């Protein structure tokens, strides 16, 4: 089920899965802003750990705590895996 959700849409292996589209307004596949952490190419484990810490509140946040609570472990792992695989 989850695998289906994050399967790239088209021939392009880098095509952004729908779940990542939700994040990409602030964390785009390319570039980004110094204020907003770049996720592209980042270690998947780091992203997952940060999201889980945001979710429990153990990592301080302005908005990421509110956002992280909306995603399951599986979704977080899928999002992290996609960003980690991009260059």
Partner 1 sequence: MNPRTKTADARASRRDVLRGAAAATAAQWPLPAIAQSIPRVVVVGGGFGGASCARALRDSGASVSVTLVEARRVYTAPPLSNAVLGGLRPLAAQQFGYDKIAAAGVTVAHAAATAIDSPTRSVTLATGDKLSYDRLVLAPGIDLRFDTLPGYSEAVAAELPHAWTADGAQIELLQRQIESMDDGGLVAITVPANPARCPPGPYERASMIAYYLKNKKPRSKLVIIDAKEEFTMQSLFQNAWTALYPGMIEWAPPSKGGDIASIDVAKHEIDTDFDTYKFAVANVIPPQRAAKITALAGVADRTGWCPIDPVTFESLQQKNIHVIGDAAIAGAMPKSAFAASVEGKLCADAIIRLIGGKTPAASKLISNCYSLVGRDYAISTTGVYQPVSGEYVEVEGAGGVSPLAAPAAFRAEEAKLADAWFRTNTREIFG
Considering the complex, state which of residue 14 and residue 85 has its C-beta at the smaller distance from partner 1: 14
CA–CA dist 35, 12 (Å, integer): 29
In the complex, least distance from residue 31 CB atom to partner 1, rounded to whole angstroms: 7
Query: If residue 25 lies in a helix (H) or strand (E), which one and from where to where?
Result: none
In the complex, least distance from residue 80 CB atom to partner 1, rounded to whole angstroms: 15
Helix, strand, coil percentages, rounded to 5, for the chain: 45, 0, 50
Residues in contact with partner 1 by CB under 8 A are 4-5, 7, 9-12, 14-19, 21-26, 28, 31-36, 62-63, 66-71, 75
């Amino acid at each position: 089920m989850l695998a289906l959700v994050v399967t790239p849409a088209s021939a392009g292996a880098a095509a952004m899965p729908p779940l990542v589209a939700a994040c990409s307004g602030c964390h785009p596949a390319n570039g980004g802003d110094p204020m907003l952490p770049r996720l592209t190419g980042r270690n998947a484990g780091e992203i997952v750990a940060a999201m889980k810490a945001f979710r429990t509140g153990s990592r301080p946040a302005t908005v990421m705590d509110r956002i992280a609570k909306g995603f399951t472990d599986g979704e977080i792992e899928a999002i992290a895996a996609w960003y980690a695989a991009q260059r």
